[in-house]
């Protein structure tokens, strides 16, 4: 699956290395070295995915994420030297789809890019629409509606919601959600799932759809009962 990828990284050697590995995968790669240029290029070139360093001049990666997420659904992979749980959750809360902590393997980066593209690129197969109460999920078109109104989700939010909607009423533990949604990354924290679910609830407009089953995990209801 080839894609147009924007890489925003002010470390020249690191940016070139990322470019080499992504181009080996068949992707078209554009490089920028600061946050302001990242915003301009993202708006003009409309890439399929953005690899975004957090620590950049002019505008940092977190602000770029916040601004872009208000404008588009483009998948964002954050690169960060900030290894604390709070920093990682902040990036996710602002709308990033995934993150990598420095130092990282270029092979892991390309693997994560593949997963994000696979989850967010529209499928050419016949649409599969999941309906639970007033919630409608079109897995082929990456579209979600609540009572007919569109809801914009990030890639991870969409995957979590789809996982729950495939078996309404079933309780999924955080570990099961991590396994289905994050797959290759076994180091994902359970609080990461909680952060995505919190964002889902805000966007769906009610906590009744994604219910917390205390001590166990989450399930999707038809929206007729409060959690």
Contacts 24+ apart (CB under 8 A), 54-57: 54/78, 54/79, 54/80, 54/81, 54/82, 54/87, 54/91, 55/10, 55/80, 55/81, 56/8, 56/9, 56/10, 57/10, 57/33
* Per-residue pLDDT at 121: 66
- Work out the number of other CB atoms within 10 angstroms of the CB of residue 40: 12
* Per-residue pLDDT at 227: 38
* Per-residue pLDDT at 16: 94
Cα distances from 76 to residues 14, 119, 134, 135, in angstroms, run 18, 12, 29, 26
* Per-residue pLDDT at 19: 95
* Per-residue pLDDT at 23: 92
Name the CA radius of gyration of the chain, rounded: 18
Residue 61 phi/psi, 5-degree rounding, is -65, -30
* Per-residue pLDDT at 42: 92
* Per-residue pLDDT at 53: 93
SS3 148: coil
Low-confidence ranges of the chain (pLDDT < 50): 123-127, 184, 225-227
* Per-residue pLDDT at 126: 41
Rounded Cα gap, residues 68 and 193, in angstroms:
22
pTM for the full model? Answer: 0.57
């Amino acid at each position: 699956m080839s894609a147009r990828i924007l890489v925003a990284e002010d470390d020249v050697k690191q940016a070139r290395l990322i470019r080499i590995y992504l181009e080996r995968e068949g992707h078209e790669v554009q490089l920028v070295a600061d946050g302001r240029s990242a915003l301009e290029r993202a708006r003009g070139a409309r890439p399929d995915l953005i690899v975004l360093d957090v620590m950049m001049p002019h505008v940092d990666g977190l602000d770029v994420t916040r601004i872009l997420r208000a404008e588009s659904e483009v998948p964002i992979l954050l690169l960060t030297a900030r290894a604390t749980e709070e920093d990682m959750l902040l990036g996710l809360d602002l709308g990033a789809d995934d993150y990598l902590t420095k130092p990282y393997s270029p092979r892991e980066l390309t693997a994560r890019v593949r997963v994000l593209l696979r989850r967010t690129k529209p499928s050419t197969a016949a649409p599969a629409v999941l309906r639970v109460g007033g919630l409608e999920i079109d897995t082929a078109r990456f579209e979600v509606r609540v009572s007919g109104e569109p809801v914009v989700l990030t890639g991870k939010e969409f995957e979590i919601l789809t996982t729950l909607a495939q078996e309404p009423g079933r309780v999924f533990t955080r570990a099961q959600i991590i396994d289905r949604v994050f797959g290759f990354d076994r180091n994902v924290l359970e609080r990461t799932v909680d952060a995505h679910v919190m964002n889902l609830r805000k966007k769906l407009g009610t906590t009744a759809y994604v219910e917390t089953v205390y001590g166990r995990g989450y399930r999707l209801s038809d929206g007729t009962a409060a959690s």
